[in-house]
Every structure is written in C-alpha cells, then in structure tokens.
Amino acid sequence: MSHAFLQQTNKLIRTYDSETLWIEAWGENSLRVRSTHEGTMPDNDWALLPAPQTQAVIQIAEKEAAITNGSIRAEINASGDLTFFNAQNEILLREFTSRESWGIKKRGRDFQAIPGGDYRLIARFESDPEERIFGMGQYQQPQLNVKGCSLELAHRNSQASIPFAVSSLGYGFLWNNPAIGNVVFGRNITEWTAQSTRIMDYWITAGDTPAQIVETYAGVSGKSPMMPEFAAGFWQSKLRYRTQDELLTIAREYKKRGLPLSVIVIDFFHWPHQGDWRFDEDYWPDPKAMVAELHSLGIELMVSVWPTVDRESENYEQMFSHGLLIRTNRGIRTTMQFVNDTLFFDATRKEARDFVWKTVKKHYFDDGIKVFWLDEAEPEFHAYDFDNYRYHRGSALEIGNIYPFEYARTFYEGLRDNGVDQPISLIRSAWAGSQRFGTLLWSGDVASTFASFRNQVQIGMNVGLAGLPWWNSDIGGFGGGNPTDPKFRELVCRWFQFGTFCPVMRLHGDRVPWIAATGTRGGGRFGSGSDNEVWSFGDEAYTILQKYLCLREKMKLYILAQMRVAHEKGTPVMRPLFYDYPQDPQAWTIEDQYLFGPDILVAPVLFEASIQRAVYLPIGASWKEMETGKIFTGGQTVVSQTPLSVIPIFLRVGSRIEQGDWS
C-alpha cells in the first residue's frame, strides 16, 4: 500500500494501523529509528544532539521503501520489517520475524500495552552467533565481549548502563531510551526491553572500523570538554578526611616528601546534614583559607556532593514545598536511608538543578572550589524498586536512567556559567551523552580483591567504547583492605600500576580497621577508614608507588595530548587492541590488555603472586618492552617477567614516546 509511506525531507515515514514509524538520517552514515502507537511522536532527543546535516536518498515503491544515508541503507518491506545494510550490501542488522514459522507470532517491534498506562516494549533483532559486541558501559563482570550476556538497563552502585554497542560486524547501535529495562545479546536473538515507554527510539551507524563508529557516535551524542591540565596528575583520597587540619596535614606531607599531587579530596559528611551542601564549621572552620593554601601548593580540592536531602536539612522544607524532590508512588516518602531518612533532589527538573547549584556556588564555588564529586548518582535507592519512584519528567520506569545525565548537567552548566571553561566532575554513574557534561565516571564501591580488580580492565575499555573517554576506579578497591596486610599491599601495588595508565589516577578506599566517629552530630558523627596514602602500605610498596607516581608525572603531556584527541574526535584514551588494529583477528580476542593512547600497550598483572604474564603484541607495529628495552615484532605472544615492581608496558616503536620524548 503506497500510501503507507511518505518522505519528509531526510525522513522516511510509514504509517500502518496505530503505528507511526520514522527512519531519519541523523549524522554521517547513520539513521535514527523511532516508532510509536501514540497519536503523535514523543519529542525527546535524549542522548542525541540535533541531527547534523546530511542528504539522504529515499525510494518509495508500492509495497516497500528504502532510505540511504552515506554507507548505511535501511529497507522496509510490506510487513513493516526493517533490515540495515552497509555500502557493500551486506546485512548489518535485521529485525527478527517469525518468517520461518508463522505460528510463533513474534515481531521485531512488540509494543505490549500496560493497562491504564504506557507500553512494555521489546525490540527484537536476528543474531549472528559469531558477532562480538563491545561497549554498553559499566558492568561488574570480566567479559569485554558482551555477546551472550544479559545486561540490566538500569543504574546501581558500581553499575552504569550506557546503552551504546560497537559490533564486530561494522555497526554501532544506541538504544536511545532512558527507561529501565534489559538487553540480551543472545546467540539466537538480540532483545532490547523497556519496562514502560511510549516510544521505540534507536540510532544505528555503519563504519569500516571501530574508530570510525565511535567517532561518528561522538559526533551525534557529544564530546568531552578538554580535560584540565591538573586532572592528568595524581588524585589522593580516602574514605573521609574528617577535619580541615587532617586534610592539610596530608597535603603538606606530600609536598614535604616531594611527591607529585594534583588533587586532594574531601568525601562525604563534611556537612551538618545531607542537603545542606556546605561545610560543618566545627570541623572545617575556614574553607577559603584551606583552598588558598592548597592552591599555593599546586593542589586542587575536590569536594563530595550528594543528591540526598535529610528531613533535618535547612533546605528540606523549601525544596519539598516547591516540588524539587523525587516522589514515591506508595509507602513512606523516603528514597534512601543513610544516617537519616532522605529524599533525592529531582535532577530532571530545571528548578531543582538551579536550586542545588545556587547553594553549591554560595558554599563551595565562591570559596574557590571548582571540582566536585557527584556521588550517589544512580541514584542509589535504599531499595531498587524502580516502579515506586517518580520524577518531574515521568516515572522511574520510563525515564529513570536519565538521572545521572541531568545530575552532571547541573554542575556542568553551573561551572560553565561561572567561567570554568574545562569542567570536570567525578561521578558514580552515567548514561549515553553524559560525556558532554565533563563527566569522569568511576566504577563505584568495588571490593578490594583481585577478582574485582580484574573486572576493572574490561570496564575501562567498554566505558570508552560507549562514548566516555574519562574513567577511573578506586585504586586498591573501595571495600576493605588492611594497609598492614601483605596480600593487600600486593593488590595495592598492582592496582596502582594499572591506575597509572588510566585516564585519571586516583587512590581511594575504605581501609580497615575502622576509625571511630569524633562527635555525635553534624560532620563528626561518622567515622572513617584507616590511612590510605602512598606511604601507608610499608616501605617496599612505598618505593614501588613512588616509581609509578613519577612515571605518571612524566606522562602528563602525553596524557593531555590524548585528551585533546578525545575532545576533538571522541577517541577513548583507554581502548582495546582492536581499536587501533582492527585487521588483526587476534586483537579482537584480547580482553586483559589495552592501549593507552596509540603508543603504549598495557598488560596489567591481575593475579596475586604472579611472577610473569603472557602479552600479545598486535600485528602492524613493533613494540619495545619498557622495562628491558627489548624490541619485538607484532603478531606474537611474549612472556614478560613481573616482579612486584613491574607491570608489562610496551611502547610502539617509532613513536616519540618510544624514542624518549614523552611530550
């Protein structure tokens, strides 16, 4: 039926029964696909920026139609089924149909009506069992290739759903829907599910290489600002520095020892109540003088901000009465229990974002603090009953994954409006597009174990492929670890070596034994973990950590050069071997090594008591082992010796860094 198809500039429209389907050119070699059974198409771009100008070719016949945008083409048949092709006319992705067995009655676009509400959506695609899929953000698991995995499309502490996938078949796919859901990358079928939504919305691009795919995605979802110079150095943190004197004592000690330090961190409960967003003056009597002294030492101060508002906070009543707090659908109106009952501010509402930034500016920014730690950003509900929470923009089931995106926007816009050209905010969760708000994602409260450490390697790579070039983990892990324990000291050394070659290098953790609280109210009613400075783990570890601190300092210009590329092109700094060497089949299978920029190959030591490890060197370059100076031709596996002081690092032969120029 030809009247079911319509061309509208760069958009192919199909209407049939209650469905309206749009297929639209959206950036180079890319298409955006939207479908709804509402009367009009919902108007949200979510992760996407306005469509860059491209010229699509649309062909409409009586029973089928096609749209071509550069090297990608979508065809839709009389039944409404979609198939995507590359420039070589090879199938990239095809909607699932039950064409081989009509009785199954499953479709590629399955809107299941929720009585009295929206729809549960399942988008199904055929699956190539040999395909490899990467990206998707931060999941605490050891797999780099997520083919065969089931991933929850929801944020939790240490889990950040960033639903952009890079396929070995030559396409990138963004699930542009912030609803709570799930994706299954099965061998037999791929299924994307949204628990409550009014629209199917995804974006697909074709590319000859992973780099082309990721860079095209950055062009439509946004790129990170240029990382500020100080951020390339070393960041010092522990569970809590409890007083102004304690924090300054640590900063002075770093300088006394001649150790490089770029950032020091004040963590949670430096405030009287959650939601006050200010220092407790009993413990932090003169923040402006503290910041001034740190700046004189060449150190930036980062301060933790939580989105929680205690009922005892001086801001609670005003925020509650003006509708600036998240609501619950049933039960007591509490979204998190920590010390007291609290509610999260509603970051999806502009008035709430403005209120929080105005308060933060008065009590932190105006004293010289320009770097913020946006904790609890998922947000971390006391119970992850997503169906019970409601935001200004809709229910958590429908739009919940947008929260950390809007939380980061709060601080990005506030900082930019007040003259900070290169904002950076550490945050515990992110969604697609978060990178454009200066988001530095970290991997949350992970365990201080080698098993947890091993997960971080693939997480860093997959986060980069999902569009966020700024990432780090708590060096040593967050949960536990005794600085006097030889096994933990080994873990700290190995994690510290890995952290040296991460986009940001930050030592943090809640060490044991626990230090008791210093008071009964305000900022004094919460204790802290044990010491967590580089000199806290014994003489042998201190010597090793010094070595890598100095190496990090030596690499700063190299790191900043990679951050410039990330800013301009969206290129991840930390990336799998196949990103630079896609023609090497073996490079696609390596999950425990990575490239740190184009010239440094990193092979972390991921198991305790390891004295050697195998390292694969990709085809297309020769590689110099930094520790020994030996040169190897790519395309082979070598064995590196790994005493506790050594992490295998290989420099690309012919690069400036291999020739001794670290700039």
| Tokens of residue 524, six digits | 């004094």
End-to-end, the C-alpha distance of the chain in Å comes to 63
Task: Choose, from 45, 445, 485, 591, the residue flagged as catalytic.
Answer: 445
| Tokens of residue 292, six digits | 């001034």
CA dihedral 254, 258, 259, 260 (to 10 degrees): 100
DSSP per-residue letters across 290-331:
HHHHHHHTT-EEEEEE--EEETTSTTHHHHHHTT-B-EESSS
Query: Nearest-CA neighbor of 559 among 544, 539, 574?
Result: 574
CA angle 491, 497, 500 (to 5 degrees): 135
Query: Nearest-CA neighbor of 178 among 343, 351, 406, 22?
Result: 406
Kindly state the DSSP code that residue 652 receives in the 8-state scheme. Answer: E
* Angle of helix 287-296 versus helix 244-256 axis, rounded to 10: 10
SS3 444: coil
CA angle 458, 461, 466 (to 5 degrees): 120
Give CA–CA dist 293/288, Å, rounded: 9
Give CA–CA dist 110/564, Å, rounded: 43
Give CA–CA dist 198/201, Å, rounded: 10
Task: Choose, from 201, 375, 380, 510, the residue flagged as catalytic.
Answer: 375
Residue written as token pair 């190539």: 128
| Phi (first) and psi of residue 70, to 5 degrees | 65, -120
Separation of CA 3 from chain center: 44
Sheet containing 340-344: give its strands across: 308-310, 340-344, 336-338
Separation of CA 542 from chain center: 31
Give CA–CA dist 396/179, Å, rounded: 7
Cβ neighbors of 21 (< 8 A, separation 6 or more) are 13, 14, 15, 33, 34, 35, 76, 80
Residues 554-580: b if buried by 16+ CB within 10 A, e if exposed:
ebbebbbbbbeebbeebbbbbbbbbbb
Strand locations in 62-199, DSSP E? Answer: 65-69, 72-76, 82-85, 91-94, 109-113, 119-126, 133-138, 150-153, 160-167, 171-175, 181-185, 189-197
For residues 396 and 390, the answer to whether their CB atoms sit within 8 Å is yes
Question: Known catalytic residue: 17?
Answer: no
For residues 138 and 163, the answer to whether their CB atoms sit within 8 Å is no
Strands 389-391 and 394-395: antiparallel
Question: Known catalytic residue: 378?
Answer: yes
Q: How many helices (H) and strands (E) does the chain have?
A: 12, 42
Instruction: Give the number of residues written for the chain.
Output: 663
Give whole-number Cα distances, 558 to 279, 298, 564, in Å. Answer: 37, 20, 10
Give CA–CA dist 467/659, Å, rounded: 31
Strands 234-236 and 263-266: parallel
Task: Choose, from 378, 510, 580, 599, the residue flagged as catalytic.
Answer: 378
My answer on whether omega of the bond before 287 falls inside 30° of 0, hence cis, is: no
Element spanning 489, H or E: helix 486-500
Query: Nearest-CA neighbor of 435 among 467, 465, 403, 461?
Result: 467
Phi-psi region of 359 (alpha: psi -120 to 50; beta: other; left: phi over 0): alpha
Question: Known catalytic residue: 445?
Answer: yes
Query: Nearest-CA neighbor of 173 among 136, 222, 140, 148?
Result: 136
Residues annotated catalytic, as ranges = 375, 378, 445
